A and B are shown apart, each in its own frame.
Chain A
Amino acid sequence: MSGTTAFWYTSRATGIVSLLLLTAVLVLGILVNRQGRLPGLPRFAVTSLHRNLSLLAVAFIAVHVLTAVLDKYVSIPVSAGVIPFASGYERFWLGLGAISFDLMLAMIITSLLRGRLNRTLWRAVHLLAYASWPVALAHSIGSSKDLQHGWMLGLGIACALIVAIAIIWRLAHAARQVPRAARVATAMARHLPAAGSHHPRERISR
């Protein structure tokens, strides 16, 4: 359903930008975990960008939601931004958006309070990123016809591919990773011959 008001256009535009930002944030998050580098940039650039872009994404999403609410053509309550399925208009697809946004808010709040939280809890919430992003993509595709054709469709596919590749890369590393208990054995093998005599093998003389 396309309206002609500035609010509606702004909502759609900020929606697309948010999707791009979230794609970048997820990829950067994986890069941080893998200690990857962005060419030409220092290490702290990766962590900084990951955090800053996530905050920027939230800002864009806030505008995206508010402009959709303010647009008079359809009736969307402001609560629909965070309460899933609170909107009469496109209840399901907008509901997905709220779910995705709720997960993001949980991730950001736990990250801001990270020092006070149990590490396992922080990590578990942060892993919700892998749920939040696909839900955001589904919301993008379903809630307006924009991503269903033309260059926006291409953009959506490109984002999905990038995320898929990043996740595969992450999983491949997890599969290869040596568990803690075996890490020492690996380090030992690197520096010492396996088993065998601990004593000089050569001729002994005074």
Chain B
Amino acid sequence: MTTLTDPSGPAMTATSVRAPAGLPRLLPQVPGVPEDLRAHVARHGRPPYRGGRGQLIQSVEAAGLTGRGGAAFPTHRKLAIVAAARGRTVIVANAAESEPASRKDALLLRVAPHLVLDGIQLTAEAIGASEAHLYLHPGTGHAIRQALAERHAAGVDWLAVTVTEAPPRFLAGQESALVNRLGGGPALPTFVPPRVTERGLGGAPTLVQNVETLAHIALIARYGPRWFRELGTAREPGTMLTTVHQPDGQTQVIEAEIGAPLRTLVSGSAGPGARAVLIGGFHGTWLPAAVAATLTLDNQALDRHGAALGAGVIAALPADRCGLAEAARVTRYLAAESAGQCGPCLNGLPAIAGALAELAAPGPRRGTRQNAERWAGLVTGRGACGHPDGTVRFVRSALTVFAEEISRHERGLCAATSRKPFLPLPDGMPTTEDDWT
């Protein structure tokens, strides 16, 4: 493990608290039991405000924290950009969790809301924000509003947090779509440049941070970068929340050390339990189960196989399901969730979804796979946001990992013995402007 000196000095806390050793860090000691404000302060102390802009950022840099919302961008760099901006700045805690297969942000907000809310306050102080927002997954507002009220009564927060629920759209959590939504419009992405860190909500530089990232910041502020680096790898320190879809159908949110072997997360992944593993969610990558079993939970290891952690979704597809059918279902969902603003995405994704649907059904298919490949190449990099690219990544990896199934289907056969859908998908398709607000 790397040893570092914490340049920011000891955190200022009213009470002396011991840094948590090992796991869990974000999740409460007793699984599933939410920590109210009293329990939170007893465990971690009150938020250690530094008294000025910029001070926390050095700690975050030393800690090597990267974003936990999917892009894994070095957090300190984002903070520094917004902190350096002149004038008004805005902070948004992103809990939209628009990925249907992800549950970690919802859980985190339910069981450790005060870590997230501390993170908002501490980060807002560090960047000099004058406006704070919490952007929530639809239907999750109630509990967090109570937590905010608790804090207000105890005088813990220095900046008021406006809570807004996102629409139930896959793109709702995308940075520019989020800013549009908070600005009163629909949750539709916009063309970049300018990035939201340059011009975001109301034209002000806006820091959009996943709620898990903010929770990590809240801990780093108290226990320091050296503590943060006690777990994880040198390149990717710390812990992360993963949403694991086990082959038996159970879904668990597991806080794991980065670099942990994947097989410790997925039950029975090495055995006949799983056929293939989807890593990184619906914009992620399929890997054969045998390959996944040899890998560790870090981007450096995954990158060698063309995969990435994303927002920590790991789904182990049971061997008795048809991978093509699953891929076709998800691709259809992704196509239906296109913002419909860019020609290539609007035309290409439904075409790709149609091709996958054909491949998922047994019967000879002339040219379908080639069409899918052609369209995949056509849409990559040609949308205003990353939706077509993410979808293509998912589709291409499915076509590779399930190549055997494709041949089998062409001969009219399918090795699957169960038609039960595995990956979670919401019902219905957006059709009106209201569906995006």
Chain A residues within CB distance 8 Å of chain B: 179-185, 187-188, 190-193, 198-206
Contact = CB atoms under 8 A, between A and B. Distances in A.
B49 to A, nearest CB: 40
Contacts of B354: 191-192
Interface in B414-437: 414-417, 419, 421, 429-433, 435-436
Pairs A-B, 9 closest by C-beta atoms: A191-B354, A184-B340, A183-B340, A191-B350, A187-B350, A198-B329, A199-B419, A202-B362, A181-B433
Given A183-B346, A187-B350, A200 B360 contact: yes
Interface centre among B325, B351, B431 (most CB of A within 10 A): B431
B430 A198 contact: no
A192 B353 contact: yes
Nearest to B434: A181
Contact of A181 (B340, B351, B362, B363): B340
Contacts, number: 91
A180 B342 CA distance: 10
B302 to A, nearest CB: 28
Nearest to B436: A181
B346 A202 contact: no
Interface of B: 322, 325, 328-329, 332, 335-341, 346-347, 349-351, 353-354, 357, 360-363, 409, 412-417, 419, 421, 429-433, 435-436
Given A187-B347, A188-B350, A204-B416, 14 more contacts: A184-B340, A187-B335, A191-B335, A191-B350, A192-B332, A192-B335, A192-B353, A192-B354, A198-B332, A198-B421, A200-B414, A201-B361, A202-B363, A206-B413
A57 B270 CA distance: 77
Given A181-B430, A198-B360, A191 B413 contact: no
Given A199-B322, A205-B413, A205-B414, A184 B432 contact: no
Contacts of B409: 200
Contact of A184 (B322, B328, B346, B414): B346
B433 A179 contact: yes
Nearest to B336: A188
Contacts of B347: 187
B205 to A, nearest CB: 20
Nearest to B326: A198
A182 B421 CA distance: 27
A204 B360 contact: no
A37 B279 CA distance: 48
B426 to A, nearest CB: 14
A184 B336 contact: yes
Given A181-B435, A198-B328, A202-B361, A188 B412 contact: no
Given A198-B332, A205-B414, A188 B429 contact: yes
